Structure 1
């Protein structure tokens, strides 16, 4: 695997440029299907960008179906045949109004995914959901944004449906679907931010408990409540978005 060092320019579009550079590495064969991407630190060094730029670029690559992140393992290049057939491009999440619209779509899909997961989940699915919850808690305690763990939790619910269409959808959306950055302006302090993340994780725990108990209606209601609350938090961050 050859990841030739390149220094990117134009600060306003570094994430886009990094996506283009890494996509070209995949298309040219320097990164092959099944290859694990370098670490965030290695990409930062190779391309001369910040961690934030790397994470945004990886989210965009996920949304475009080029890579898949496996929690606790790494990010891997997908075979072309693995590219999700359903895609919502990052450009479709460029405004607060569009993110809210996507949340409305997710409410309809993920509410039923949670219900199916409650019926079909396996012990392995439960273990992976527990791992995602633990990763979320660790991120809170370490002062991180918990976006990766948040997305992982929703991905694991999709997998627990045993229906690949739900999994394809969540892979297509990528971690960029987690709207954390959209409300950063109203989280004025670290304690406020941590309290916000704890509320989100409590909602996740309610979903998990219902799925673990195989309570279909409770799982459906808990997911609807969680995503509806996310939508309302976004609306409150910008009253003009309603």
Structure 2
């Protein structure tokens, strides 16, 4: 291919192959925001427009949008679209390629957990026993103890999710989570010793509030509420961990 022909191909064809497609899209959109091609407050192109321009799948676009949102560059207005934040660029967007890989692993892992654990929570609302409820309550109580002591131990968090999976009365959910949880729980993979005790306890408090929202829906046999509460918890967890990775680099 001649240099002239190479310069005439679509933007996606010139991307560096060693990057994942979603990280390439993140980099391109972030640069357009930086130079003002996508001004502050402006609505980003639609998913379809991005798919057509860059020749990527809807999944790639959605992963990139999730990363851009977690990076503080855009905000999502559900039912309307994605918009460049007014404060975009106040904190420079400087994710290394290594950080982008970590971000994408967390996003993908939590997306998988959202699909599995949301349904497990809905089934638990229908099928839980008093013993199941007590196990979930004990996990929340153990998290309260961790909050008081700013404990970095992840066991109470893990036990909560195991107890919800077990309450589904479907052993496959429990077995899958027992593997996925140890592999994909972000707090098991990210060092937290550099965070102050007060800040870390505040983080655990928010997490346990989300846990208790799941517990309350399961107690009430509210399957839709349990599904929504677990989805919100894991989505918020994804956003928190991605934001932490952003500021660590």
Deviations, residues 41-77 of structure 1 (Å, cap 9, x unaligned): xxxxxxxxxxxxxxxxxxxxxxxxxxxxxxxxxxxxx
Quick check: 1:228 aligned with 2:235?
A: yes
- Whether the aligned pair in 2 keeps the contact of 1:147 and 1:175 (CA below 8 Å) is no
- Whether the aligned pair in 2 keeps the contact of 1:187 and 1:193 (CA below 8 Å) is no
| Residue pairs, 1:63-82, within 5 angstroms | none
The match for 2:149 is 142
Quick check: 1:202 aligned with 2:219?
A: no
TM-score between the two structures when normalised by the length of structure 1: 0.56
- Whether the aligned pair in 2 keeps the contact of 1:150 and 1:178 (CA below 8 Å) is no
The match for 1:34 is none
The match for 1:122 is 129
Gap change, CA 1:187 and 1:197, over 3 Å in 2: farther
CA shift for structure 1 position 166: 0.2
CA shift for structure 1 position 126: 0.3
C-alpha distance in 2 between matches for 1:228 and 1:162: 24
CA shift for structure 1 position 175: 3.5
Unaligned runs of 5+ in 1: 1-93
CA shift for structure 1 position 184: 4.6
Quick check: 1:152 aligned with 2:159?
A: yes
| Residue pairs, 1:1-242, within 5 angstroms | 95-180=102-187, 184=191, 188-239=195-246
C-alpha distance in 2 between matches for 1:98 and 1:187: 22
- Whether the aligned pair in 1 keeps the contact of 2:107 and 2:238 (CA below 8 Å) is yes
Deviations, residues 88-136 of structure 1 (Å, cap 9, x unaligned): xxxxxx9342122110100111111110000000011001111111111
Gap change, CA 1:190 and 1:176, over 3 Å in 2: farther
What SS does the corresponding residue of 2:150 show, helix, strand or coil?
Answer: coil
Unaligned runs of 5+ in 2: 1-100
Structure exhibiting the larger radius of gyration computed from Cα positions: 2
- Whether the aligned pair in 2 keeps the contact of 1:118 and 1:212 (CA below 8 Å) is yes
Segment drifting more, 120-129 vs 142-151: 142-151
Paired residues, number? 147
C-alpha distance in 2 between matches for 1:187 and 1:205: 27
- Whether the aligned pair in 2 keeps the contact of 1:115 and 1:217 (CA below 8 Å) is yes
Tell me the C-alpha RMSD between the 2 structures: 2.2
